[in-house]
Structure 1
Amino acid sequence: MSKTAISVDHIARVEGHGNVHLTIEGGQVVTCEMNVVEPARLFESMVVGRKFADVPYIASRVCGICSASHVITDILAIERVFGVEVTDRTRALRELLVYGSYLQNHASHLFVFAAPDFLDMASVFPLAQANPALFDSALGLKALGNQLCNLVGGRSIHPITAVVGGFTHEPTRDEYLAMADKLDAEREFARQVVDLFRSFTVPAIATQGDMLAMVADGRYPVCDSRDARFLGAGVTFDADEAAGAAGQIEEYEVSHSAALFARCRQTATPYFTGALARINASWGALSQEAKVAAAKAGLRPPERNPYLNNVAQAVEVLDALARCAELCRRLAEPDGEFAGDSQPVAFGVRAGKGTGFTEAPRGALFHELELDETGRVVHAAIMTPTAQNCANLEADMRVLAEKLVADGAEKPEVQLEVEKLVRAYDPCFSCSVH
């Protein structure tokens, strides 16, 4: 392979539009570009001048899958400005809502986007014909995520019940218990999903970048911690320190992408955020069932192969089912630890700046808001997981291509594996230009 050009315009089976361009010469990658070609969507400008109560529902439109995460992240930013402290019951409901989007996203990604790569299929439709039972079970898992979001958030996408200070509506005891039973019923299938994705053969590569995840002592946090950590650099910081001119995350422009790229400011290193980063950061806090399934599948920290983000998502599905079933049963106890209600607490409007932080299904999500004394938005900034991942994905594509060429791979194999790597990252290119 003296000189080879690989161009993939519009990567298939991903959210949004992205292109890949590689030039390989003499066994070396001389050009490696992850092109995000989506137009700017201007959500950050759209909310300027709007009242704080409107902002979460506007921002939720950034993504139809991660809408719950965008709502909760904006609410957390507003509560940071106003100094609002919510009840433990409200925190539990927010966790359920975010996990509902995990079930939606991971089921869709694993079976509609990723699985065909490893089953020699061009799309999910041959899978539906070849193995209808597997396909129907996957759709059932996705539907359960929809049901959980609908139960807690009032609808399956763009939730309406989560507001600053609490919730406007809460499920009944019977609804909690019925949902817990449904979640438990999916756990056997989820164990099979972990085994299925670990059975797929992937190239032995290791990401050259860092990893970023939310952290909390003794917990697997998704929306109730303010601490983020670069695992390789060992840098832990508060969400308010994430962005800005002196922030721990440095965003920068590249000529070949409409999305900003990102790197750790202290080390100038790109990084990965998502399920694999979360499992590396919080392995010890996984449910016992999920930990056993992951260990059986060979997924243990430190794991740096980005292809195994697929396996990590499968493990998170199993973990989420067990965690959410338990939460539903605890919330159903009238005199339990979550006694009381989730009605919005009283608060006062004031000027200030704050950052909300959650772990969206695809990775760390930050919303920075500055409000005036009337509660109107002066400035807004969003860092989505895919935008943060683009630089690291580009670096991993280079590592992968050079390894494959050194192993004697020809152009079709290199192109296929690069596409599989892109999909393993579970990107949402539409969200990256927010």
Structure 2
Amino acid sequence: MSATRISVDHVARVEGHGDIRVVIEDGAVTTCEMAVVEPARLFESMVLGRSFEEVPYIASRVCGICSASHVVTDLRAIERVFGVEVTDRTEALRELLVYGSYLQNHATHLFVFAAPDFLGHKSVFPLADANPELLERALGLKALGNELCTLVGGRSIHPITAVVGGFTHEIDAGEYRRLAEAMDAARDFVLASVDLFRDFDTLDIQTEGDLLAMVAPGAYPVCTSDTARFVEGGYEFSAQAVEDEIEEYAVGHSGAFLARARRTGRPYMTAALARVNASWDALCKDARYAAAKAGLRPPERNPFANNIAQAVELVDVLDRCAALCRRLAADEFSGAIAPVPFTVRAGRGVGFTEAPRGALFHLLELNGEGRVTRASIMTPTAQNIANLEADMRQLAEKMVAAGFDGDMIRLEIEKLVRAYDPCLSCSVH
């Protein structure tokens, strides 16, 4: 019996620590695992007994890049329990805060983590030497995301101005207009980035599972809807019923829970690619044109295309943020940002946002004093791992059938893992 074993300890250029294990025996893939080797971080236990006011700040520490999404998700869960309806202006500021993390994440992932794969480099450092302008502009885009989060959220990570019912601080109209101009100035670079990632060669595979994303009529929502859609399954559900629709389960080789749809038993992918598939028609005009030019149209099920989808979202984010900033400067949103009055009460609520890496759910149960009696967090990466493993197996099987050797299979599997943009530290929250 001939056997090929592919082992990658601590996959490079991803957030967190994970190992790849693939075994090929007599031309058949017998083992294919994405092992998350980080220990549990126990954030769900950390918040037990804590006041609702503390929870968003604790949960934001799950992730540095996605901290804004964790804060907003917790706030939405708490507001669901208390029956709080925030103003339009508060909703606009929350969108800006979440979009700031999109700029931070997508710029880092695409140019520091993913691009070296396709340009023949083992890390970002040779890329910096070969094309310093490309990397400088990419880091400038991330810096713009940092600035947006700082001005709206009070600091670049772990925001402090977003609270239950509103915000404690807001910048002036002049700052909004300056941010809008900065967004406009970055557009040419992100449009060129879509073309750059379009030209990279990838293997043709179709993801094994479904696609999950937030949806709303006529919108490309990131934090303003309670409705999720399984694109292939063709059905929607309220985030409040997430435990009835999504099953988390453990496996022996991973420190993270995996996930599958309860109705179908299928794994699924939640990411920029899922959002583009679910809400293609609601992309901004230039983003939709850039996507079509790059060959990214629904249905698109090649997980490698998540890189292009993130580049397309950068175009979309810049257009939306510029428009939001100009409307905020012109005072076009109703209501103030000051926290609205509310009454603390017992209950259960689920917060739902689209973090940069995909759907994020926070379930909170509070007692009459507003203290947490139960908490559950479902991060995008934890939801993605089962589908990632299935796609890794499919890729390995196709490459074995085509006669590729172990080194090439290992390289392509690593590229696939990075295309998912995993945050393995977040998966063991």
Give TM-score, length-normalised by structure 2: 0.99
Answering whether residue 339 of structure 2 is matched by residue 367 of structure 1, we say no
Residue 341 of structure 1, CA deviation: 1.5
Residue aligning to 1:265? 262
Give me the whole-angstrom Cα distance separating, in 2, the residues matched to 1:37 and 1:133. Answer: 36
Alignment of 1:256-295 (within 5 A): 256-295=253-292
Residue 234 of structure 1, CA deviation: 1.4
Give me the whole-angstrom Cα distance separating, in 1, the residues matched to 2:35 and 2:10. Answer: 9
Q: 1:340 aligns with which of 335, 343, 367?
A: 335
Residue 137 of structure 1, CA deviation: 0.3
Give me the whole-angstrom Cα distance separating, in 2, the residues matched to 1:42 and 1:221. Answer: 29
3-state DSSP of counterpart to 1:16:
coil
Q: 1:251 aligns with which of 241, 248, 254?
A: 248
Alignment of 1:414-429 (within 5 A): 414-429=409-424
Alignment of 1:194-233 (within 5 A): 194-233=194-233
Give me the whole-angstrom Cα distance separating, in 1, the residues matched to 2:230 and 2:132. Answer: 41
Residue aligning to 2:315? 318
Alignment of 1:11-410 (within 5 A): 11-243=11-243, 247-334=244-331, 336=332, 338-410=333-405
The answer on whether the counterparts of 2:114 and 2:415 sit within 8 Å (CA) in structure 1 is yes
Give me the whole-angstrom Cα distance separating, in 2, the residues matched to 1:9 and 1:126. Answer: 22
Give me the whole-angstrom Cα distance separating, in 2, the residues matched to 1:36 and 1:131. Answer: 33
3-state DSSP of counterpart to 2:171:
coil
Residue 401 of structure 1, CA deviation: 0.3
The answer on whether the counterparts of 2:88 and 2:335 sit within 8 Å (CA) in structure 1 is no
Unaligned residue ranges in structure 2 (runs of 5+): none
Give me the whole-angstrom Cα distance separating, in 2, the residues matched to 1:38 and 1:265. Answer: 27
Q: Over residues 109-165 of structure 1, what are the superposed CA-to-partner deviations in whole Å (9 max), with x where a residue is unaligned?
A: 001100000001010011111111101000100000000101110100000000000
Give me the whole-angstrom Cα distance separating, in 2, the residues matched to 1:73 and 1:187. Answer: 28
Tell me whether 24-33 or 403-412 shows the greater mean CA deviation.
24-33
3-state DSSP of counterpart to 2:421:
coil
Residue 3 of structure 1, CA deviation: 1.8
3-state DSSP of counterpart to 2:54:
helix
Give me the whole-angstrom Cα distance separating, in 2, the residues matched to 1:232 and 1:293. Answer: 24
Q: Over residues 36-74 of structure 1, what are the superposed CA-to-partner deviations in whole Å (9 max), with x where a residue is unaligned?
A: 000000000000000000000000000000000000000
Give me the whole-angstrom Cα distance separating, in 2, the residues matched to 1:404 and 1:339. Answer: 56
Q: Over residues 13-52 of structure 1, what are the superposed CA-to-partner deviations in whole Å (9 max), with x where a residue is unaligned?
A: 0000011100112222111111000000000000000000
3-state DSSP of counterpart to 1:368:
strand
Give me the whole-angstrom Cα distance separating, in 2, the residues matched to 1:340 and 1:225. Answer: 19
Answering whether residue 2 of structure 2 is matched by residue 5 of structure 1, we say no
Residue 340 of structure 1, CA deviation: 3.4
Give me the whole-angstrom Cα distance separating, in 2, the residues matched to 1:94 and 1:184. Answer: 20
Q: Over residues 406-434 of structure 1, what are the superposed CA-to-partner deviations in whole Å (9 max), with x where a residue is unaligned?
A: 11100110000000000000000000000
Residue 235 of structure 1, CA deviation: 2.0
Answering whether residue 428 of structure 2 is matched by residue 433 of structure 1, we say yes
Amino acid at match of 1:327: L
Residue 339 of structure 1, CA deviation: 3.8
Give me the whole-angstrom Cα distance separating, in 1, the residues matched to 2:27 and 2:174. Answer: 63
3-state DSSP of counterpart to 1:52:
coil
CA RMSD of aligned residues (A): 0.8
Q: Percent identity?
A: 70
* Runs of 4+ in structure 1 over 4 Å off: none
Alignment length (residue pairs):
429
The answer on whether the counterparts of 1:333 and 1:339 sit within 8 Å (CA) in structure 2 is no
Q: Over residues 302-347 of structure 1, what are the superposed CA-to-partner deviations in whole Å (9 max), with x where a residue is unaligned?
A: 000000100000000010000100010011113x2x0432110000
Give me the whole-angstrom Cα distance separating, in 2, the residues matched to 1:132 and 1:33. Answer: 36
Amino acid at match of 2:273: L
